[in-house]
Every structure is written in C-alpha cells, then in structure tokens.
Structure 1
C-alpha cells in the first residue's frame, strides 16, 4: 500500500492530475468533518464514513486517483487496503491524517 505524508500531497496531486480530477476520500464521521476539514483545491473531496465504504465504494470511479484521509491515518489505511483489494489501482493513504495535514500543510485546519 502506498502512503504519502501531507507535505507530499501537492507532489502527489500534480502527478495524479491528468485527464481527471483526483479524489480525497475522507472516511471520518460527519461530526469530525464539521470539526475540521480540508478545502478542495485541485481535487474533489468525497465524504464517506469508513463504516459505509463496503456498501458505497462502487460510487467511486476506479479510473480516478484517490487519496484516503482520516484523523490519524489508521482508518484511511484500512480503507486504502480495502479499495486495493477490490480492484482500485491508484489509491494512496494520507499518513498521519488530518492531524498531520494541519501540522504539515495547512495550520488553518483545526486540530482535535
């Protein structure tokens, strides 16, 4: 499984952005999204709580690059692995989650 740190996100985004817009798949709970969220800039933000992924993953386009995001990186790593096992090929985990995103990329994102 591939993983990137938030500090590497812009590099990943440049490589991933070809003829399609990459996706950041946020697998946190709705209350977490209200507490802290990333701002879509060059990517589409899709919210899909981890527990709903097995029932909803077919809503995702296999042709689009996907970066999975959660609070600290554990749930998103599980979802990344699940997607890879189910035929998705261009999926990465954002290591450290939104907590690291705030520390490495955007200090305007609240830490919780």
Structure 2
C-alpha cells in the first residue's frame, strides 16, 4: 500500500491511531475514487494508474483482518502476474502500445471480489 499510495505506514493525514491499511479500507467503504489515493508522483498515465489499482486490490486482500481470509503466497504471485502490463508492441497495437482487450476502465473495481466482505 505504501508503494501504491506514496504514503508512510502512519501519516498525520490518516488521523489519530489510523494506519495506512485502515485509511485505505475507509476510502473503499466511503466509495471514494481510489484514483484519489494513488501516488500522483508515479505519472499521469491512465494505464499505469490502472495497474496500480490492480496491485492495490491485491494489497487489500493481503491485509484482511483475519489471517484465514488472506491469500496464499502462490495466489498472490499469480494475481501479480495477472496485474502485469498487457501492452503490446508491433503493428497490431494502438499508438500508445496498449492492448484494448485488457482495458479494465469500465469494470467495477471491487464489486465481484471478496474484498468487500473483508473491510
């Protein structure tokens, strides 16, 4: 979560006795656009932001309150592999090198995930 948000584990912005995990959970519960918490220093590229949101989703799963609800490491590796950029080079790609088939822009971020039950 630190890498995605650019925040430290405890930050005055979070409030008293609130760490980064609870801060992110609060943002999700309040339906705040998660693009608001992504580190703006990473760049202003929509595709990078989408990849960061996918990794944030994994981070939320990994920080479930109950250990039994957290994914196994092999599952985390698989999820991270799936979150890799799906950009293509060559003549069949767009000018920006992005594969439109992998665009997750219009897909709900947490709606089909067990994440919402873990918050």
| TM-score, normalised with respect to structure 1 | 0.25
Which structure carries more helix by proportion? 2
Structure with more strand by fraction: 1
User: TM-score, with normalisation over the residues of structure 2?
Assistant: 0.24
Q: Which has the higher contact order (CA 8 A, sep 6+)?
A: 1
